[in-house]
Structure 1
Amino acid sequence: MIRKLQLLFVTLLFIFSGCSKNERTSLQSLSGNPRNAVAAFGSPVGDVVGKITVGYQGWFAANGDGSPINAWWHWTQNWGASPSATNNGIKSWPDVRDYTSTFATAWPNLNNGSTARLFSSFTDQTVNTQFSWMQQNGIDCAALQRFNPTGGEGPVRDAITAKVRTAAETYGRKFYIMYDVSGWTNMQSEIKTDWTNKMSAYTASSAYAKQNGKPVVCIWGFGFNDNNHPWSAAVCLDVINWFKNQGCYVIGGVPTHWREQVSDSRPGFLATYSAFNMLSPWMVGRIGNIGDVDNFYTNVQTPDQAYCNNNGIDYQPCVLPGDLQEHQRVHGDFMWRQFYNMVRLGAQGIYISMFDEYNEGNQIAKTAENASFIPAGSNFVTLDEDGVACSADYYLRLTGDGGKMLKGQIPLTATRPTQPIVGGGNPITPPYGSVITLKSSNNLYVSSENGQQAMNANRPAAQGWEQFTVINPGTGTNKVVLQNSGFYVCSENGTQAMNCNRTAVGPWEQFDWIDNGDGTISLRGSNGAYVSSEGGTQPMTCSRTTKGATEKFLVNQ
Structure 2
Amino acid sequence: MGISRRAFVTSALAAAPAAALVTSLASHSSAAPATRAAGTRALGDVVGKITTGYQGWFAARGDQAPIDGWWHWSHNWSQPPSATNHALMSWPDMREYSNVYPTAFADLGGGGPATVFSSHDDQTVDVHFRWMREYGIDTAALQRFNPNGSEGPTRDDMAEKVRAAAETHGVKYYIMYDVTAWDDMQEEVKADWTAKMRSHISSPAYAMQDGKPVVGIWGFGFNEPNKTWPPEVCQDVIDWFHAQDVYLMGGVPTHWRTGTQDSRPGFIEVYRSLDMLSPWMVGRLTNLADIEHFYQHVNTPDQAECDEHGIDYQPCVIPGDNSRRHRLHGDFMWRQFYNLTRIGVQGLYISMFDEYNEANQIAKTAETQDDIPTDSGFLALDEDGTFCTSDYYLRLTGDGGRMFRGEIPLTEARFTPPAG
Q: 1:416: which partner in 2?
A: 414
1:227 is displaced (CA, Å) by: 1.2
Deviations 1:223-276 (A, max 9, x none): 001111011111101101111110100001000000000001010100000000
Letter paired with 2:381: L
Q: Which structure shows the bigger proportion of residues in strand conformation? A: 1
Per-residue displacement from partner, 1:17-56 (whole Å, max 9, x unpaired)?
x99765445xx99xx85433x3345x31100001000000
State yes or no: 1:103 paired with 2:101.
Answer: yes
Q: Which segments of structure 1 move beyond 6 Å, counting only runs of 4 or more? A: none
Larger Rg: 1
Residues of 2 paired with 1:157 and 1:130: CA distance? 17
Alpha carbons 1:297, 1:341 under 8 Å: kept: yes
Aligned partner (choices 42, 54, 70) of residue 52 of structure 2: 54
2:60 counterpart SS class:
coil
2:89 to 69, 88, 91: 91
3-state SS, counterpart of residue 95 of structure 1: coil
Q: TM-score, normalised by structure 2?
A: 0.93
Q: Paired residue for 2:35?
A: 35
Aligned AA (2:254): T
Amino acid at match of 1:232: P
Question: What does 1:432-447 correspond to in 2, within 5 Å?
Answer: none
Task: Give per-residue Cα distances to partners, 1:135-164, cap 9 Å, x unaligned.
Answer: 110110100000000011000000010000
Partner residue of 2:10?
Answer: none
Partner of 1:75: 73
Q: Which of 367, 370, 373 is the matching residue for 1:372?
A: 370
Out of 178, 183, 186, which is 2:184 matched to?
186
1:148-547 alignment runs, 5 A limit: 148-422=146-420
Q: Report if aligned partners of 1:253, 1:281 keep a CA contact under 8 Å in 2.
A: yes
CA drift of 1:417 comes to 1.5
How far apart are residue 192 of structure 1 and its match? 0.2
Would the aligned equivalents of 1:290 and 1:337 in 2 still touch at CA under 8 Å?
A: yes
Query: 2:134 is matched with which residue?
Result: 136
Structure 2 match to 1:114 = 112
The secondary structure found in structure 2 opposite 1:295 is helix
Identity %: 59
Q: Distance in 2 between matches of 1:97 and 1:83?
A: 19
Q: Deviations over 1:64-121 (max 9, x none)?
A: 1010011000001000011100101000010010000010011111011111000000
Q: CA 1:80/1:20 → structure 2, altered by over 3 Å: closer, same or farther?
A: closer
Does structure 1 conserve the Cα–Cα contact (< 8 Å) formed by 2:215 and 2:247? yes
CA contact (8 A) 1:146 1:180 kept: yes
Alignment partner, residue 529 of structure 1: none
Q: Is the 8 A contact 1:217 1:250 kept in 2?
A: yes
Structure 1 position 378, deviation (Å): 2.2
- How far residue 376 of structure 1 moved from its aligned partner, in angstroms, is 1.4
Which SS does the other structure have where 2:398 is aligned?
helix
Aligned residues: 399
| Structure 2 residue identity aligned to 1:95 | D
Q: CA–CA distance in 2 between the matches of 1:413 and 1:295?
A: 20
1:314 to 1:242, Cα distance in 2 relative to 1, 3 A = same
Q: Which runs of 5+ in 2 are unaligned?
A: 1-21
Instruction: Tell me how far apart the structure 1 counterparts of residues 336 and 23 of structure 2 sit (CA, whole Å).
Output: 18
In the alignment, the residues of structure 2 paired with residue 377 and residue 266 of structure 1 have an alpha-carbon distance, to the nearest angstrom, of: 42
Report the RMSD for the aligned CA atoms in angstroms: 1.5
What is the identity, as a one-letter code, of the residue corresponding to 1:365?
A: A
Q: Which amino acid aligns with 2:417?
A: Q
AA aligned opposite 2:176: M
- The letter of the residue matching 1:313 is I
How far apart in 2 are the matches of 1:59 and 1:316?
A: 24
The amino acid across from 2:38 in the alignment is A
In the alignment, the residues of structure 1 paired with residue 275 and residue 120 of structure 2 have an alpha-carbon distance, to the nearest angstrom, of 32
Contact kept in structure 2, 1:35 and 1:347, CA below 8 Å: no
Partner of 2:35, secondary structure, is helix
Give the unaligned 5+ runs of structure 1.
Answer: 1-17, 423-557
**Bigger relative contact order (CA 8 A; separation at least 6):** 2
Alpha-carbon spacing, 1:213–1:372, altered in 2? closer, same or farther (3 Å)? same
**Aligned AA (2:146):** N
- Cα distance in 1 for partners of 2:285, 2:109 equals 32
Q: Is the 8 A contact 1:255 1:281 kept in 2?
A: yes
| 8 Å contact from structure 2 (residues 34, 410) kept in 1 | no
Which residue identity lines up with residue 378 of structure 1 in the other structure?
Answer: S
Q: TM-score, normalised by structure 1?
A: 0.70
2:270 partner letter: T
> Partner letter of residue 66 of structure 2?
P
Structure 1 residues 19 and 288, CA gap change in structure 2 (3 angstroms): closer
Q: Given residue 274 of structure 1, which amino acid in structure 2 is its aligned partner?
A: R
User: Which amino acid in 2 is paired with 1:180?
Assistant: D
Matched AA of 1:39:
A
- Give the Cα–Cα distance (whole angstroms) in 1 for the partners of residues 367 and 415 of structure 2: 20
SS at match of 1:405: helix
Give the partner amino acid of 1:171.
Answer: H
8 Å contact kept, 2:105–2:375: no
Which amino acid in the other structure matches residue 35 of structure 2? R
- For the 8 Å contact 2:33–2:409, the answer to whether it is kept is no
